[in-house]
Amino acid sequence: MFCNELEGNNRSIIIYVKDYLNCKQLSLKLFEEYVLLQLEGKNGKKFNITTIYRSPSSSQDNNSELCSFINDVCKLQGHKLIIDDFNLPNINW
């Protein structure tokens, strides 16, 4: 289990991973509400899994940090999977 306990909010972001998988948690400091894991296959290929939470009351500064964080995740070596709760009900995707 990899966890990011969000200070002062009584909530956490958690990703459960089987023990036999070669996995490590990565840290990027731009944004706080995420868990970023990197799995490495037997062939050396990397797979990055990111879970992100964006509060509905997120400030503009926090939104900018989130965008920068996503850009940094996209620059990581290997495949990427981003799972999110962006709380943007009125956005036109």
15: in domain: yes
85: in domain: no
Distances in whole angstroms, Cα of residue 29 to Cα of each of 14, 36, 58: 18, 11, 17
Its pTM stands at 0.84
86: in domain: no
State the total domains in the chain. Answer: 1
Q: Per-residue pLDDT tens for 18-49?
A: 989 999 999 987 788 899 999 998 899 999 99
22: in domain: yes
Provide φ and ψ at 66, rounded to 5°. -60, -45
More confident residue, 45 or 1: 45
16: in domain: yes
66: in domain: no
Supply the range of the domain harboring residue 13: 1-60
* Of 67, 45, 52, the residue nearest 6 (C-alpha): 52
pLDDT at 78: 94
Q: Per-residue pLDDT tens for 45-82?
A: 999 999 999 988 899 999 999 999 999 999 999 999 99
19: in domain: yes
Under DSSP, the state recorded for 62 is H
pLDDT > 90 in the chain, percent:
55
Beta-carbon count within 10 A of 6 CB: 14
